[in-house]
Amino acid sequence: MGITILARMLLLISSVTLISLLALSKCGLSGALDNGIDDGIAHPIKSALRNDEQHALLMEQREEENQQEIAKLKAEIKNLKLELFQLRNNPILSDQILSLNQNASTSSMMIQQQQSAAASYQLDCTNYIRRQVGQAEILHGMPMNNEYEIIPFNHFTFSRVYPIELGLGKRVVEKPIGYKRKDLLDALNRGLDSLNKNATLLNQRYTLDDFIEGIYRNDPTTGTQYELYFRTKEICNKTSNPSPSSSSHHNDHGTTKIIVMRPFAPLQTVQIEKFPKTAEKEIIHIILPLSGRISTFQGFMDKFVKIALKNDRRVQLTVVYFGEEGLSEARQIMKRIVAQKSSYSSNLKLLALNETFSRAKGLRVGAEQIWNEDKSRGKNNKDVLLFMCDVDIVFSAKFLDRCRWNTKPNRKVYYPVVFSLYNPHVVYTLQGKEMPSETDQLVISRDTGFWRDFGYGMTCQFRSDFLKVRGFDEESVGWGYEDVMLYRKYVRSNIKVIRASDPGIFHLYHSKVCSGSQNGQKMSADQYRACIRSRALNEASHPQLGFLAFHDELILNNNQTELNQNSNNNTNNNNKNSNSSSNSVYELRSTRKHISNKQQQQKQHTTKNTRVKVPSSTTTTKKAT
């Protein structure tokens, strides 16, 4: 009831004000016209015409003032109606207004207070969003207690998602559908809006066709983070001709990275970052510790030449070889590559250590060798990007780009989740399939491999960060535990760890031997458990391991099924040819007796026509027996 009275009062005040203005305007105009007529009688015609012009100007001014006042009143009425609507939906606020004086000045004060409250609410909302973005681990790292607190990213393209949520029955690659597709499209559209904010020409505008790939993760405390990569838009000069080097490379374009976040509120653009073209890319120094395994090393070098040297070209490989056995063969392999093209000599280095194999030491020695080379060239302050690799790894040129995108000195390091291939003998041969070539085996599917979420050996990081966390624990010997220790150092630091599934890097299958000791030194309990787990997961998928585990039982079941079928067939035949089981036993004894008599008669008589008639039940009894 109180709201209705207040509404009527406000409308009445507005109506009275409008009528008063109209009345005043009409009175003023009529008075002016009367004065003009009197003056026209008293003065000459020239003066009358001048007065008529003044009267017309005065009318126009009055009309403009009236229209402005009417517009103001209409706007005020519109605002009052809006305030009334808000009051009806907020009974607490309406009670507060009714307790005040019921006049125009009080209502005007309330409107101003509500406008101030709305502005304050909007400011609080903006501050909240900014606080959420600031608290998120998106532009900086945060120290954590252990490696299990890291939330990994999921890699995605426009049509594929590579989820990192692992487990039996989970897909390793899937199409984004439903809410997931809408979520990713919202992020892409927000990124496009930010990129096209200052674009004036049509060829400067970004579209979904320019999207390359991205990663995302959901932080339950702050929101969903997206890192999107687009091909950089450039305005080409029509008069200039492209250089042969740039036109020969199909991927010779810059890359623009944009970070957006959904902090349980509208998405906010956090950062836009541009990456250089091919010729200006950061050089990746690949460090490969090795001991023996010459045939595997030969395959690694063949793929390295095709992918890294011929495609990416901004890479250098340092092989740290342990021991004397196989050293000469490794040197010959690298010499043959340099003989193919002399310019490759600057991209390949071989360091020989006559010591027991230690991956941690090999990586440290490789990093120090790069440091010493830079010092000799006068580049003391030059930081370098390291990729710590293994001989069982196959990577693509796209992975090398991600290695650059996801690393920054003192800011972030990249730990890709590698796709590990199962034993091809189990995947193909035991399934009755023909063994494909090694290149054709690089397929991401549930039956060919799994995301190696427990492996931390493959990593991209700058040398300054590697030295800052004091590198590896070289006292750890044996199987791969030093990788976990280095990973935990980064997790507990302020450096951001990018942990994401990467479809461009594969771990080839090779057999593992998890003995109690390795290289003459005893493995720790954690090392042994990690090796056993890796061996079990690396062999085959869960259904394939089940077929292997129950192989004997499956064979026994198949044989039993065949025996049951044969037994059923024989039983049916016996029922037709014999009357009872007792007769069969009697006939069996009788048959043996007749056979014995027949053999004796054949020895005593040589007459060809002498024959012994064998009962017809003999054959059936033998089968039944």
The H or E element that residue 483 is part of is: helix 481-491
**pLDDT at res. 154:** 94
The three state secondary structure string of 103-122 is CHHHHHHHHHHHHHHHHHHH
Lookup: tokens for 456: 């931390």
Residue 18, beta-bridge partner list: none
Under 8 Å CB-to-CB from 545, ≥6 apart: which residues?
536, 539
Query: Of the candidates 152, 20, 139, 6, which has an alpha carbon nearest to the alpha carbon of residue 81?
Result: 6
- Conformational region of residue 264, where left means phi above 0, alpha means psi within -120 to 50, and beta covers everything else: left
**pLDDT at res. 585:** 41
**pLDDT at res. 299:** 94
| Residue with token string 């606020």 | 93
Mean pLDDT in each 10-residue stretch from start to end of the chain (625 residues)?
A: 66 71 56 44 49 69 78 78 66 54 55 63 71 79 87 94 71 88 95 92 91 94 93 67 48 87 84 88 95 94 92 92 95 92 89 92 90 63 90 95 96 96 88 87 92 92 93 66 89 94 94 66 75 78 79 78 75 57 44 49 46 36 34
**pLDDT at res. 551:** 73
> For the range 279-282, what are the long-range contacts, defined as Cβ-Cβ under 8 Å and sequence gap of 24 or more?
279/245, 279/246, 281/312, 281/314, 281/401, 281/404, 282/314, 282/385, 282/404
- Tell me the DSSP string of 35-98: HHHHHHHHS-HHHHHHHHHHHHHHHHHHHHHHHHHHHHHHHHHHHHHHHHHHHHT-HHHHHHHH
The H or E element that residue 211 is part of is: strand 211-219
Lookup: tokens for 190: 């927000």
Residue 248, amino acid: S
Lookup: tokens for 405: 């995108």
- Tell me the DSSP string of 581-598: HHHHHHHHHHHHHHHHHH
Residue 286, beta-bridge partner list: 317, 387
Lookup: tokens for 53: 């012009």
DSSP state of 519: T
Query: Of the candidates 574, 611, 577, which has an alpha carbon nearest to the alpha carbon of residue 595?
Result: 611
Cα 618 from Cα 588, distance rounded (Å) = 7
Distances (CA, A) of 316 to 279, 305, 346, 384, 525: 15, 11, 8, 11, 37
Under 8 Å CB-to-CB from 257, ≥6 apart: which residues?
227, 228, 229, 230, 271, 272, 273, 274, 275, 405
Cα 251 from Cα 229, distance rounded (Å) = 14
**pLDDT at res. 608:** 41
Cα 272 from Cα 254, distance rounded (Å) = 13
Under 8 Å CB-to-CB from 119, ≥6 apart: which residues?
none
Query: Model's pTM, two decimal places?
Result: 0.64
CB 229 within 8 A of CB 208: no
3-state secondary structure of 30: helix
**pLDDT at res. 473:** 75
> For the range 323-329, what are the long-range contacts, defined as Cβ-Cβ under 8 Å and sequence gap of 24 or more?
323/291, 323/292, 323/353, 323/354, 323/355, 323/356, 323/357, 324/354, 325/292, 326/291, 326/292, 326/293, 326/294, 327/352, 329/294
Residue 148, amino acid: Y
Question: Would you report the helix, strand and coil content of the chain in percent, each value rounded to 5?
Answer: 55, 15, 30
| Residue with token string 């021991």 | 323
Query: Of the candidates 512, 416, 530, 513, which has an alpha carbon nearest to the alpha carbon of residue 476?
Result: 530
**How many angstroms from the chain centroid is the CA of residue 30?**
79
Lookup: tokens for 513: 């031997």
- For 559, other C-beta atoms within 10 Å of its C-beta total 10
